[in-house]
Amino acid sequence: MSIRIETLDAFFNPKSVAIVGASSNFAKIGGRPVHNMKISGYGGNVYPVNPSAAEIQGLPAFPAVGDIPGPVDMAVIVVPMPHVEPALTACIDKGVKAAIVLSSGYAEISEDGARAQRRLADLGAEGGLRIMGPNCMGVMNTGTGMIATFISAIGDTGPETGTISVAAQSGAFGGHCFTLARERGLGLNLWATMGNQCDVEFSDCLAYMAQDPGTSVVLGYMEGVQDADKLIEALEIARAAEKPVVLMKVGRSEVGTAAAASHTASLTGSDAVFDALLRQYNVFRPHSIDEMFDVGYAFAGGQLPKSARTGIITVSGGVGVIMADAAEDAGLELPPLPETTQERMKALVPFAGTRNPLDVTAQFINDATLMETMYGALLEEGDYESAVCFLAGVGLNPLMMKELEPSLEAVRQRFPDQLHMLAILTTPERRARIQAMGYLCYEDPSRAIHALGVLARYSAALKRGPSAPPPDLPSGAPRLTAGTAINEVEGKRILAAAGVPAVPERIVGSSSEAAVAAEAAGFPVVMKIVSPDIRHKSEIGGVILDVASREAAETAYRDLLARAEAHAPDARIDGVLVAPMVSGGVETILGVVRDPVFGPVVMFGLGGVFVEVLKDVTFRVAPFGIDEARRMIREVRGYPMLQGVRGAPPADEEALADALAQLSAFAAANADVLETIDVNPFIVLPKGEGAVAVDALIAVRENAGA
Residues that bind a second copy (CB under 8 A): 108-110, 152-153, 168-173, 175-176, 179-180, 183, 221, 223, 248, 250-252, 287-290, 315-319, 321-322, 324-326, 328-329, 350-351, 361-362, 365, 392-393, 396-397, 425, 443-447, 608-610, 612-614, 637-638, 640-641, 645-646
Give CA–CA dist 576/581, Å, rounded.
15
CB 570 within 8 A of CB 502: no
- Among candidates 563, 612, 569, which has minimal Cα distance to 587? 612
| Rounded least distance, CB 151 to a second copy, Å | 9
Of 321 and 671, which CB lies nearer to a second copy in the complex structure? Answer: 321
Q: Measured from the CB of residue 406, what is the shortest distance to a second copy in angstroms? A: 20
Question: Which of 28/550 has CB closer to a second copy?
Answer: 28
To a second copy, the closest distance from the beta carbon of 69 in angstroms equals: 36
State which residue, 412 or 447, has the beta carbon closest to a second copy: 447
Are 219 and 164 in contact by the 8 Å Cβ rule? The answer is: yes
Range list of β-strands (E), 439-542: 440-442, 506-508, 525-530
Q: How far is the CB of 519 from a second copy (least distance, A)?
A: 31
User: 652: which DSSP letter?
Assistant: -
What minimum distance in Å lies between the beta carbon of 261 and a second copy?
Answer: 15
Residue 96 is which amino acid? Answer: V
The rounded distance, in Å, linking the Cα atoms of 289 and 666 is 39
Q: In what order do the strands lie in the sheet with 543-547?
A: 506-508, 575-580, 525-530, 543-547
Which is closer to a second copy, CB of 193 or CB of 676? Answer: 193
Name residue 165's amino acid: S
Pick the closer one to a second copy by CB: 16 or 264: 264
d(CA 493, CA 574): 15
Q: Whole-number minimum distance, CB 320 to a second copy, in Å? A: 9
Q: Give the residue with the Cβ less far from a second copy, 172 or 260.
A: 172
**Minimum CB distance to a second copy smaller for 184 or for 550:** 184
Least separation, in Å, of the C-beta of 641 and a second copy?
Answer: 6
Phi-psi region of 624 (alpha: psi -120 to 50; beta: other; left: phi over 0): beta
Among residues 338, 332, 341, the alpha carbon closest in space to that of 310 is found at 332
Beta bridge partners of 309: 333
Asked if residue 23 lies in contact with residue 56, where contact means CB atoms within 8 angstroms, the answer is yes
Residue closer to a second copy (CB basis): 176 or 306: 176
The CB-of-33 to a second copy minimum distance in angstroms stands at 16
Q: Which is nearer to a second copy, 240 or 645 (CB)?
A: 645
What minimum distance in Å lies between the beta carbon of 152 and a second copy? Answer: 7
Interatomic CA distance for residues 304 and 419, integer angstroms: 7
Closest to 333 (Cα-Cα) out of 308, 358, 305: 308
The runs of H, that is alpha helices, within 128-227 are 171-183, 202-211
